[in-house]
Every structure is written in C-alpha cells, then in structure tokens.
Amino acid sequence: MNDCVPDWKMEDDSRPFYGLPVTNEKKCMGYSCRPENELTELLRRNRHGVLHGQTNHKALPAIFESKQTQKPESLLKCGDSVVNSSNFIDEEEATSWFQYSLDNSMDKELSEFFYGMPTAEIISTDKAMKEDSNVCTKKSCFHPHDNVMLSPKSSLGDSATVVKFSNHRKPRKADLVSENRKFCEEASSSEAVVGMADSSSLRKILSSVCGSNQAQNEAEVTHALSSVKGAKDSLSRSTLDHLEANTYEPAITSSSGGSRRSSTKHGLKRKGRNAEESEGQSEEAEYESAEANKAAQRPASGRRSRSAEIHNLSERRRRDKINEKMRALQELIPHCNKSDKASMLDEAIEYLKSLQLQLQIMWMGNGVAPMLFPSIQQYVSCMGNAMNHHSMTSIPNPVQPPKVSSDIQSTTLGTSISNQPHVCPPQGPNSINFATQMHNFHIPEQYSSYFGFPQMQMPPQVMNICTYGPQTMQQNQMVAAVDKQQHTNNKSSI
C-alpha cells in the first residue's frame, strides 16, 4: 500500500486535487498502483480511438502525453480528484469523468478516450470496448453528450468497464438500459467474467434498489453477468451494498463505500485481475483505477461531481452522528415516544427544565437554599401570601393544584409585591428561591407530568421546612444558591 499511496500523494500534489487527501489515500493505495498500468493501456487505446480528428483531440493527446510521460496519475489530473474521491464515489467519478471529458472537449474524442480509460481497467475485450464505451458514455453521461459517447466506442473496450460504469450510473441514465444490454452481451463474452459477475450482482441489487427503468437495465446486465458471476460473489456483494446505498444518488456519491465498490467492480472487469486479487484489495485497486480512469476522462465534471460527492459523504456522516446523539437523548428522556427531531428536541427542552426545577426544589427541601436572592424578600412575602391560600391543605393532588397555584402565585407575585407580611423573614431563602422559580417558570405544571410533583404546594411547606433547618446553613447555601439560581433563572427566563 505504502508504495501506492506515495504515488498518489505526489500526484495529488502536483495536480489540483480537490481536497480528498486522507480518504483518497487509503483508497489510492491499492488503486494508485494499478491505475498506472491501466492508464497506460487506456491511453494507448484511447489514442487510437479518440483521435478522430476533432478539435478536442488536443485534449486527449495531452492526456496521453501526460500519461505516457508520467505516471498514469498525472494523466488523471482532471480525474485525480476523481481518483481520490474514487474512494467515495466510484460511480460518481466515472460519470463525472465522462461528463467532464465531454464537456471540455469534443465529446466524441473525449468520450472515446474516457471510455477507453475506464475500460482499460477491465481490458476484457477490445470489441467489448466499443460497447463499453457506448455503455459508459451512456451511463456516465451526465451531460447530454450522449451522441458523443456513442461514437468513440469503437476504440474503447472493456465491456466490463462499461458495465461497471453502467452499474454505478444506473440510476442516472436511461442509457443504462442500452448499455446494460450491451454489457450483458459483452459480459458474457468478455473475459472479465469475474467483473461481470460483480457487476451483475451489483446490477441486481441496483435494479432492486432503483426499481425504475434503470433497474431494468440493470437486470439485463445482471442477467448476463449472473452467468459469469461465481467467483466474484463476494465482491459483487460488497458492490451491491454500495450500489444499494448509492445507486439512487447519481450526483452524490451515496457513500464512499458505494463508490468504492463500484470501482471495485471496475477492477474486476479490468481484466479478470480481480479474480486474482483478493477481493478487498482488488476492489480497492480496481476502484481506484476505475476512478483514475474516470478522473482522467472528465476533468471538469469529475471535479464538480467529486466535490459534490465528497460533500455528500461528509454531510451524511455528520447527519449520522447527529441521529445517533438524538437517539441517545431519546433514551434519556422518560416516556418519550416521539421520533421526529423537532418534537424530540421539544421534549428534551421541557424535560431539562423540569429536571432543573426539580433539583432546585429538592435542594430547598434539603434545607439547603441553593439560590437565594436576599433582595427577593418581597417575592417571598408575596409567595407566602399566595401560598397561604393553598398552604392550608395538605399536599393535594400533585398535578392539579400546581396549575392552579402557579397561576395564583404568578399573579400574586406580580400584584402583591407590596405585601410584606410577617411571613417573610423566616422564609427568606427558600421563599425567594421558590418565588423566583415560580416567577420564571410559569409552567411548572407541565413539568409535573414528569414528576408528579406538587410544586405549587411545595413552597409554603418547603419554606416551613427551611425555617426548621439551621439558618446558618441556609445562609451558607444562599451564596452558592444565589449563583446557581440566578443562572437557572436566567436560563429559564430566556
């Protein structure tokens, strides 16, 4: 791996990579090694096929040159991002590459070239190339350059590669159908049986996943491939998984894994090499090579799609993290049967508030005045007054009274501040605490659902309790409590 990685890194540095250093590296490892071989082959092939005499030839020759002179990676400049991101988005890359090539230059030229590139991976059969290119073009063609794609096919070969692309791209293009057909034909005949098997398996999965016309295409392909599949079941399985996840995300690589797989498929096709390589390795390598090819082929579109894919992947990861945390939160909250985020957050907020309130009350009940505002004596008195209305009764039904009492208390607090009954002094700390609490939490009753808490009833009694407790202790607590209460009150009042 290491040797491959350095290659990639170097290449990447030289080229304007699109920022997929880390992830790509891993993938590139196996991948980079291969692409060189593949690329060279592709280049050679493409050269023949592509040079059709269109203005864009230069684009291709340039690619050839770069390839020839340097490692294949260099060639993949445009595709390097693809390659790198191949890890993520094997499919995407391919398609993007195709498109890219199409966009930039003569579609035909490029398409041929590109097709040749990816097919090189598979290199199953020359004649397959034709088909492959057609297929590939169809599939990967994001742009409406279909016609272009079709033309160069002759030079391109590996049907397997084509199939690969088609596999990946299936959701994208209706072309896949035709491609698939071709692929199927090719597949059966081509050497890349192994690759095909994978692709077929993938296709199957894809078809099942896509379930659309594309799926049909896939099915066709898969049929063809299924016959060949055998050895590569495992590979195809992995690809399938990917495909399932990714298939429906044409533009966005559903996941790097998916892309990986798709690349793997490519690798399979490459020349039956897949059969030789270990599945994981081959997949990676192939994927990378496929990506490289793709990358080379489509410079602009590849980049765009690649970054989009990368973005999607990171976005997906982020979303997964958040969902996981939401689930954890849901477990913490009692009696939470909501599943959507907003209501979950709502519940969490309420629960948190009620927990805080409960804690405050408990602190008070403990004879510790967590937060006391000495200046809130008036509140205390008011509270006392208000509470006196209800305090005579023993602790009544927790749920009901609180509502009533809270209303009364809140109103009382507001209105009867002037009252400075005798009750105040002894109840200082706790009352204050409660007063502030009640004042701020207009809805303590909603919390009682969590606790069955006779909140409203508490104040007077709690205050009594507090009077029982040592005043000194309360004083000590006051300082600490004030801060805490302040903090909590501020929060709740927000």
Partner 1 sequence: MSSRRSRITEDEINELISKLQSLLPESRRRSLGRVVELQASASKLLKETCNYIKNLHREVDDLSERLSGLMDNMEMNSFEAEIVRSLLRS
Rounded distance between C-alpha atoms, residue 250 and residue 254, angstroms: 8
The conformation of residue 392, written as its DSSP 8-state character, comes to: T
Q: How far is residue 422 from each of residues 138, 178, 373, 410, 418, measured CA to CA in Å?
A: 89, 92, 18, 20, 12
Give min distance, CB of 214 to partner 1, in A: 19
Contact residue for partner 1 among 322, 470, 471, 479 (CB under 8 A): 322
Query: Does 352 participate in binding partner 1 (rule CB under 8 A)?
Result: yes
Number of residues in contact with partner 1 under rule CB under 8 A: 48
Give min distance, CB of 176 to partner 1, in A: 24
Query: Does 351 participate in binding partner 1 (rule CB under 8 A)?
Result: yes
Phi-psi region of 123 (alpha: psi -120 to 50; beta: other; left: phi over 0): left
Contact residue for partner 1 among 374, 468, 471, 479 (CB under 8 A): 468
Contact residue for partner 1 among 355, 404, 473, 480 (CB under 8 A): 355
Contact residue for partner 1 among 2, 328, 337, 375 (CB under 8 A): 328
Closest CA to 361 of 459, 473, 441: 459
Sketch the per residue contact string, 390 through 429, with partner 1: x for CB under 8 A, - otherwise. Answer: ----xx--x-------------------------------
User: 218: Cβ–Cβ under 8 A, 6 or more apart, which residues?
Assistant: 166, 167, 170, 176, 180, 202, 203, 204, 206, 207, 210
Give min distance, CB of 307 to partner 1, in A: 19
Q: How far is residue 243 from each of residues 20, 28, 79, 99, 268, measured CA to CA in Å?
A: 21, 20, 21, 20, 15
Rounded distance between C-alpha atoms, residue 292 and residue 80, angstroms: 6
Give min distance, CB of 210 to partner 1, in A: 18
Nearer to partner 1 (CB atom), residue 310 or residue 361 = 361
And the tokens for 350? 């309420």
Rounded distance between C-alpha atoms, residue 466 and residue 87, angstroms: 66
Q: Which stretch binds partner 1 (CB under 8 A): 13-21, 54-62, 197-205, 356-364?
A: 356-364
Sketch the per residue contact string, 448 through 467, with partner 1: x for CB under 8 A, - otherwise. Answer: x-xxxxx--xx--xx-xx--
The conformation of residue 20, written as its DSSP 8-state character, comes to: -
Closest CA to 38 of 287, 331, 212, 372: 287
| Positions 360 through 389 that interact with partner 1 (CB under 8 A) | 361-363, 365-367
Query: Does 358 participate in binding partner 1 (rule CB under 8 A)?
Result: yes
Rounded distance between C-alpha atoms, residue 36 and residue 480, angstroms: 70
Residue type, 195: G
Query: Does 473 participate in binding partner 1 (rule CB under 8 A)?
Result: no
Query: Does 251 participate in binding partner 1 (rule CB under 8 A)?
Result: no
Q: Which stretch binds partner 1 (CB under 8 A): 79-87, 159-167, 184-192, 339-347?
A: 339-347
Rounded distance between C-alpha atoms, residue 114 and residue 102, angstroms: 9
Residue type, 351: Y
Contact residue for partner 1 among 22, 345, 417, 479 (CB under 8 A): 345
Q: Which stretch binds partner 1 (CB under 8 A): 23-31, 228-236, 321-329, 433-441?
A: 321-329
Give min distance, CB of 422 to partner 1, in A: 19
| Residues, the chain | 494
Query: Does 341 participate in binding partner 1 (rule CB under 8 A)?
Result: yes
Residues in contact with partner 1 by the rule CB under 8 A: 318, 321-322, 325-326, 328-329, 332-333, 341-342, 345-346, 348-349, 351-353, 355-356, 358-359, 361-363, 365-367, 394-395, 398, 448, 450-454, 457-458, 461-462, 464-465, 468, 487, 491-492, 494
